[in-house]
Structure 1
Amino acid sequence: MGTYSFQNVSASINGPGGVFSIGYGSDTADEGISVAFVEDKSTMTIGSDGGGMHSLHAGKAGTITVRLLKTSPVNKQLTDLYRFQTSSPANHGQNLIRVVDTVRGDVVIAQQCAFRKMSDNNWAKVGNVLEWVFDCISIDEKLG
């Protein structure tokens, strides 16, 4: 299929203190949702004689960034969730984030996710985009 639309992207966060949608219909900004891994999966080492070796790394850690319009009601939900989860270590780092493109078949499941920090914010002539960054211990991504 050669067509993509954010309309087909559903995303949710599930953790101590709340479960709600963060995908299409959440007043997501043009920049949307992004997934980034924190380390390479492999390291190549070349010896002095020209021979080589690959080292496969087990890590699956990464970040998920959700960008919302200033006026999105999801900002309040995320603020409340952030306050609850950072009030006690018992609630921290337990989010499950799921992103699915229902037409293309893309699926991202991120586990043991924690808020990196409260979203930066400003008040100006033009409303801004709030970025919520989550540090995730394990991300499994399958592109359809």
Structure 2
Amino acid sequence: MGTTSAYGYVNTANTVDGQLIQGLWDGDDAISIAPLGDKGTMLIGADGSALFSVSANRGATITLRLMHTSPTHRLLTQKLKRQQALASSVAAFPVTAFDTSSGEGGTGDKCFIQSAPTDSKGTNATVREWVLVTGEWNPEIPNG
């Protein structure tokens, strides 16, 4: 027998430096987390034997797509100025993305800004895409 569940963004807890992420752009990918690399590689020897090497890479990119009026856009702009001024690990900040219904998500305790958004003006408002990076993303195990 199948199970029925529901998803709603209101059942998520997403923060940058302890502050709720606000002013997200429209779409199904307003927040996305991607591993920095493969989780491992397979090597097949000349005789057909196999060896799998597990990667130690636990890094991830966290992409936030925000409106230009977003308080989080303002916060990240301030963090970018701090990161550029200090150029040290003191500028790192935590990020959390978590679905409270499914248990899916994770945290990065030491995140940095990898790329800042393009600032464009025209007929319509445009997305402000921030890409954050962490060397250690700690994913949660989703509920069963």
Q: 2:36 aligns with which of 15, 35, 38?
A: 38
Shift of 1:40: 0.8
2:102 alignment partner in structure 1? 104
> What is the TM-score with the length of structure 2 in the denominator?
0.86
Counterpart in the other structure of 1:28: 24
| Distance apart, 1:107 and its partner CA | 3.1
Unmatched segments (≥5 aa) in structure 1: none
- Give per-residue Cα distances to partners, 1:100-143, cap 9 Å, x unaligned: 11111123111321101322120010100111111111001123
Amino acid at match of 1:127: A
| Displacement after TM superposition at 1:65 (Å) | 0.5
Determine if contact 1:86/1:92 at 8 Å carries over to the other structure.
Answer: no
- Answer whether contact 2:79 2:91 (CA < 8 A) is retained: no
User: In the alignment, residue 27 of structure 1 is paired with which amino acid?
Assistant: G
The one-letter amino acid of 1:133's match is V
Task: Give the TM-score normalised by the residue count of structure 1.
Answer: 0.86
Match of 1:2 among 2, 5, 20: 5
Deviation at 1:91, TM superposition (A): 5.2
Q: Which amino acid aligns with 1:102?
A: T
Paired-residue identity, %:
26
- CA gap of 1:92–1:132, structure 2 versus 1, over 3 A, is farther
Unaligned 5+ runs, structure 2: none
Is 2:51 aligned against 1:13?
no
Number of residues of Structure 1 aligned to a counterpart in Structure 2: 137
- Alignment partners' CA distance in 2, 1:57 and 1:89: 28
Deviation sequence 1:4-25 (CA, Å, 0-9, x none):
11111111112xxxx4221xxx
Report the structure, 1 or 2, having the larger strand content: 1
Post-superposition Cα deviations, 1:68-90, rounded to whole Å, max 9, x if no partner, equal: 12222321121112112221123
Q: Is the 8 A contact 1:92 1:114 kept in 2?
A: no
Q: Does 2:112 match 1:94?
A: no
